[in-house]
Amino acid sequence: MSSQATVHHDHHDDHHPTGIMRWLTTTNHKDIGTMYLVFSLIMFLLGGIMILGVRAELFQPGLQLVKPEFFNQLIGVHALIMIFAALMPAATGFANWMLPLQIGAPDMALPRLNNWGFWLLPPAAILLTLPFTLALFGIGDGAIATGWTFYAPLSVQGGIGVDFAIFAVHLLGVSSVLGSINVIVTILNMRAPGMTLMKMPMFAWSWLVTAFLLIATIPVLAGAVTMLLTDRHFGTHFFDAAGGGDPILFQHLFWFFGHPEVYIVLLPVWGFMPQILQTFSRKPMYGYKAQVYSLWAIGILALVVWAHHFFTVGMPVPALLYFMYSTMSISLPLAVLFFCWIATIWKGSLTFETPMLFAIGWIVLFGIGGLTGLVLADVAADAQYHHTYFVVAHFHYTLFAGGIMGIMAGVYYWLPKMTGHMFSERLGKLHFWLTAISFNLTFIPQFFLGLAGMPRRIPDYALQFAEFNMISSCAAFVLGLSQLIFVYNIISCVRGGKKATNKVWEGAEGLEWTLSSPPPYHSFTEQPVVK
Amino acid sequence: MASVNQREKNSQPKSNKKLVIRLLWLVVAAAVFGFALVPLYNVLCSVTGLNGKTNNTADLSKTVVDKNRLVTVEFTSTVMPGLGWDFYPQQNRITVHPGQVETVNFLAKNVTNQPVVGQAVPSVSPGQASLYFKKIECFCFQHQELKPGESKVMPLRFYVSPSLPQNIGTVTLSYAFYSVNK
């Protein structure tokens, strides 16, 4: 890449605005990626504060701090924010930052759409949380109180919070679909010469599957919540039994989206995690092809297993059996992935920098999430565990350990590349150990609570559950406060620190590590050739 | 190198546009599929009885009473929010031979001080049994109006089809009474 060519291609973008206008109008993939990641971090903290309110209420049996209605609002909005406003934007942020760098593209394929895709998110977040504030002024009765699943008929009867949430989901959906289209076009059209599909980084593969899943399922969710909206206000009866509708239909429509959604937030992590593992094992990724095929297998299976989320509504036995076996079959390609991840670090020369600590902790904890999912997939066992804290613990092992701790590994892995500075390893390791230990102390008791039959989404509980809930609440507060170390570490890394080298990590492989740290505002204006 | 790059730059936006349009069609197809699931689900339910709806018209002429078998039929009732009624079955369960026509009375009373119109919506559990639960006469066939303080005995005449699968011994019929806002 000659410096002359860079200057030539840059000149028309040199006068980009500064200050707030830079961020409002930017079409640069790194700027937009940064905005996604910052937005995600803020929402992660906001969703965390909400659930600490819930854990504070659950510290003791009885009702002490919040009213049951407010409790219901907190759990639902916590989930919506964590899934739609924290996890998904974090994954999209990484896609924006790293996909063009990893595949040697100068930018995302559709930069203006990219800008719009991001700026739909803050209004959506405001729509979700505004009803809390409105209720303080006596308008409406607060945010959506149905849980994040919007189940009818409760959501048909709910207050204005439901309408706000419906419109928020519409905006978030449009944003994700635009983001997905952008990712697919970028990956298929903008790869560096010589980079065939089977030479792509795993992160690109995983995002390709994710993007197709989003395109297949988000419109179904948008349709479902639109039907809900017309049921609420325009006299239709999609889910209203009085008018010949069926509330169970809503569960089918919702989980047709909802189950693939789990993989939508996890697949990007499965993409960059092998890259982190190979970096700190200093040996090539094991089973590249097997991993690619497994990602696709999981993506396709994810679309046909949704009804295991409501085994207890009363399905015919053949349907139960089908959804049980198809759900369990997902564990086969997932086991292939686990095998590849472990084989990648097998006999490598490992070092345990913060990203690697998170990666290894992630394999173990996500493994627990996967195995407990296998238990829930069993129709006979599910009758006991359904809607208990066992389910809550299970999906936090997949979505917090498997999702958010994975994202944290990615943040620590790429932060020096993005900022040009090394973060504090000492604080990073402290953050990891506090997070891993307090996470387990929060959720292992919840497995026991669920096995003992404590129902989820209820602000009060029987006395026999008191000790485990107390442990869980204390650990949850440690978990929440530990994240402040993460925030501090990121901020101080952005502001300064030891200069990062281009390669940052000794064993790092891939095109993003050939650029300077931080990479130039416009990178790969001359595409590199991959051999 | 530079010329190759230039050529790629020119051809890129066009092929991007083509791909974007194809992907947008995919989005449209997914949205259509989402809405198509509503009629598909209803068809599936009416074929399999999946959601417990009982939409069958009774045909008495072909029915033979199966004296060798007894089926328990249970009745439950729910008054939905917004309808100020008392509503309950006179008997909670009854044992019948398949094919035998029975009458069960439900009692309804308007406890408000204004006339109220309601509509009962039936549901049968287990769902598979809904195909074999035949109603001859039912208060759920039309709207019911009660004056302030008025009570009414609401009869249900039904039989259970002899072709009810052998593994089903108990059928539960549940009525939810909704208010009809006019």
**CATH code where residue B70 lies:** 2.60.370.10
- For A131-158, what is the mean pLDDT? 91
**CATH code where residue A158 lies:** 1.20.210.10
- pLDDT value at A10 more than 60: no
pLDDT of residue A1: 37
Q: Which A-chain residues 121-180 have CB contacts (< 8 A) with chain B?
A: 157, 177, 180
* Interchain contact B39–A (C-beta under 8 A): no
If one counts the domains in chain B, the total is 2
* Interchain contact A255–B (C-beta under 8 A): no
Angle at A466 between CA A464 and CA A471, to 5 degrees: 135
* 3-class DSSP assignment, residue B157: strand
B102 and B73, same structural domain?
yes
* Residue A444 falls inside a structural domain: yes
* Residue B91 falls inside a structural domain: yes
pLDDT of residue A7: 41
Beta-carbon contacts of A306 under 8 Å, excluding residues fewer than 6 positions away, are A252, A255, A256, A258, A259, A260, A323
If one counts the domains in chain A, the total is 1
- For A428-444, what is the mean pLDDT? 97
* Residue B55 falls inside a structural domain: no
B83 and B149, same structural domain?
yes
* Residue A389 falls inside a structural domain: yes
- Count how many pairs of residues, chain A against chain B, have C-beta atoms within 8 Å: 93
B137 and B75, same structural domain?
yes
* 3-class DSSP assignment, residue A453: coil
Report how far apart, in Å, the C-alpha atoms of A255 and of each of A30, A106, A149, A308, A441 are: 34, 38, 9, 9, 30
B44 and B67, same structural domain?
no
B119 and B171, same structural domain?
yes
B41 and B81, same structural domain?
no
pLDDT of residue B51: 67
* Residue B53 falls inside a structural domain: no
Beta carbons of B41 and A242 less than 8 Å apart: no
B16 and B77, same structural domain?
no
Phi/psi for B156 (5° steps) reads -130, 120
What is the pLDDT of chain A when averaged over all its residues? 93
Measured between beta carbons, which residues in chain B are less than 8 angstroms from residue A221?
Answer: 34
What ipTM describes this predicted complex? 0.85
Q: Which band of pLDDT confidence, cut at 50, 70 and 90, is reported for residue A464?
A: very high
Beta carbons of B31 and A110 less than 8 Å apart: no
pLDDT of residue A8: 43
List chain B residues with pLDDT less than 70: 1-14, 49, 51-62, 181-182
Measured between beta carbons, which residues in chain A are less than 8 angstroms from residue B47?
Answer: none
Beta carbons of B19 and A189 less than 8 Å apart: yes
Q: What residue numbers bound the domain in which B29 lies?
A: 1-48
pLDDT of residue B66: 83
B140 and B64, same structural domain?
yes
pLDDT, tens digit, for every residue of A57-96? 999 999 999 999 999 999 999 999 999 999 999 999 999 9
B121 and B64, same structural domain?
yes
- pLDDT value at A155 more than 60: yes
Closest CA to A468 of A500, A444, A488: A444
CB A381 within 8 A of CB A320: no
* Interchain contact B35–A (C-beta under 8 A): yes
- For A462-468, what is the mean pLDDT? 95
Q: How far is CA A220 from the centre of its chain?
A: 19
* Interchain contact A405–B (C-beta under 8 A): no
Could you say which of B30, B41, B52 has the minimum Cβ distance to residue A249? B41
As a whole number of angstroms, the distance between CA B96 and CA A131 comes to 54
Beta carbons of A316 and B127 less than 8 Å apart: yes
Measured between beta carbons, which residues in chain A are less than 8 angstroms from residue B48?
Answer: 316
B66 and B25, same structural domain?
no
Q: In chain A, whose CA is at the least distance from the CA of B37?
A: A253
Q: What residue numbers bound the domain in which A142 lies?
A: 39-514
* Residue B54 falls inside a structural domain: no
Q: What is the full DSSP assignment across A414-441? A: HHHHHHSB---HHHHHHHHHHHHHHHHH
